[in-house]
Amino acid sequence: MPEVVSIIFKEAGPSYYFDPADVECEVGDWVIVETSRGPSMGKVVAPPMPVPDRDIDGFLKSVQRKAGEDDITKSEEFKAQEAEALVKCAELVTKHELPMKLVAAEYNFDGSHLTILFSAEGKVDFRALLKEIGTTFKTRVELRQIGARDVAKLLGGIGKCGRVLCCTSFLNKFTPISVKMARDQSLPLNPASISGECGKLLCCLKYEHDQYAEMKANHPSIGNRVKTPQGEGKIRGVNHFRETVAVQLESESTMEFRISEVSPLGKEKGR
C-alpha cells in the first residue's frame, strides 16, 4: 500500500492525499505541493500513513518541500491583496456587463495563480473578461463558477440554530440532501423552515437522518390501527424519542401509550 500524507489548503476545506516522498512531514507543518493550479502551500493534518490503492483517485502528486518563513510571509502578503483584487475584478465585470456575482479572490502562496470565484444563474461567456483580468494582474487567472452552498461556505454567517454555519466551521464535504430527510424527521415541509442561508436544504438534515430512519422502521406509523389496553384505535402521532404513540380510540378520545403497549391491527382502507 502506498504511503500518503493528508493536506488541507484552507480551514474547514477538504483534505487531499500526497506522496510525502523524502520530506519528513508532521501534523501542523506547512508544505509546498504541486497542484493543478501550480505550486500551492498546504497544512499537514494527518501524519504519513499507508492507504489502500482504491482510496487514491488518479496520480498521487508529491510533497516538494517544507514551507519556509519566506514562503509563509509571501503567502500572507498576497492574501492581503485579495480584497483589492476582488474590487478591481468587480469593476471589470461591470464594464463587460456580465450577469455574474463575484464571491472571492484567492492567490496561491507565491502569487503565480489568481482564482476568481463567482456565482451566476446560468453559464457566462467570460472569455473577454478573463483576458483583460490577466492583462491587469499580469499573472495566471482562473474564473470559476461555484454553487450556492460554496458561496455560503466562503462568505460565512449564522444559521437558524444561532451558531456559525456548519460549512464554514467544520463541514469539509457537501453530501446530497433531500426533502425525504425532513419528512422522515416529521419536520414541517415549509421551504423557509428547512432551508439554510444558501437557500438550499439544511445540511444538518443529514446528521440524524439515519437514526430517524432506523427508529421509524421499528415503530408503528401514523394511520395504523392498533390494539391498546383501552381498546382499539388509530395512531394519530408518534414520539420516536419517548417511544410513545398518541392513539385516537373508538370513543373519540386520544390517549398516549408506550409503543410496547400497543399491537398492530393493520391500516384502515380509504383513510
**Over 70: is that where the pLDDT of 43 sits?**
yes
**Over 50: is that where the pLDDT of 11 sits?**
yes
Question: Model-level pTM?
Answer: 0.75
Please report the pLDDT score of residue 59 as a whole number. Answer: 82
pLDDT per residue as tens digits for the range 53-100: 887 877 888 999 999 999 999 999 999 999 999 999 999 999 999 999
Please report the pLDDT score of residue 251 as a whole number. Answer: 87
**Over 60: is that where the pLDDT of 268 sits?**
no
Write out the CATH class of domain 219-267. Answer: mainly beta
**Over 80: is that where the pLDDT of 120 sits?**
yes
Give the mean pLDDT of the chain. 90
pLDDT per residue as tens digits for the range 190-238: 999 999 999 999 999 999 899 888 888 888 888 899 999 999 999 998 8
Q: What is the CATH number of domain 78-146?
A: 3.30.300
Please report the pLDDT score of residue 266 as a whole number. Answer: 57
Please report the pLDDT score of residue 265 as a whole number. Answer: 84
Q: What are phi and psi of 46, to 5 degrees?
A: -150, 140
CA distance 239 to 122: 44
Per domain, the residue ranges of the chain are 3-67, 78-146, 151-209, 219-267
What is the torsion angle, in degrees rounded to the nearest 10, for the CA atoms of residue 239, residue 247, residue 183 and residue 266? 120
Please report the pLDDT score of residue 58 as a whole number. Answer: 75
Q: Which residues of 61-98 are buried (b: 16+ CB within 10 A; e: fewer)?
A: eebeeebeeebeebbeebeeebeebbeebbebbeeeeb
- Compute the residue count for the chain: 271
Residue scoring higher pLDDT (271 or 14): 14
Percent of the chain with pLDDT over 90: 65
Confidence of residue 249 (pLDDT cuts 50, 70, 90): very high
**Over 90: is that where the pLDDT of 270 sits?**
no
Q: Which three cell numbers stand for residue 212?
A: 430517524
Q: In what order do the strands lie in the sheet with 140-145?
A: 101-107, 113-119, 140-145
